[in-house]
Amino acid sequence: MSAASTIRLAIRTLPETFDRSRIVTVIETLEQELYEGGVYASATADSVTIEISVRTEQLLDAATILNELGLL
């Protein structure tokens, strides 16, 4: 069993390319981008934060992808 890490993103800081009013679509897009980059993640959101759970050994890969998307 591998350890999991959580990346938290403030919804209010999402770049203009992400439609904050369609958070489900944003989550699906993030999960798809991560998956296509070889990172298996799940994302959830509340009213202010998106939480992305990834296996700890994939944390660097996830951060790289999120950085490329302008999220970090």
Cα gap 26→57, rounded to integer Å: 24
Q: Are 7 and 66 in contact (CB under 8 A)?
A: yes
CATH number at residue 36: 3.30.70
Query: What is the total count of domains within the chain?
Result: 1
Tell me the CA end-to-end span of the chain in Å, nearest whole number. Answer: 28
Q: Which domain holds residue 54?
A: 4-68
pTM, two decimal places = 0.91
Beta bridge partners of 51: 8, 44
Strands 49-55 and 4-10: antiparallel
Residue pLDDT, tens place only, 13-51: 999 999 999 999 999 999 999 999 999 999 999 999 999
The pLDDT, as a whole number, for residue 2 is: 77
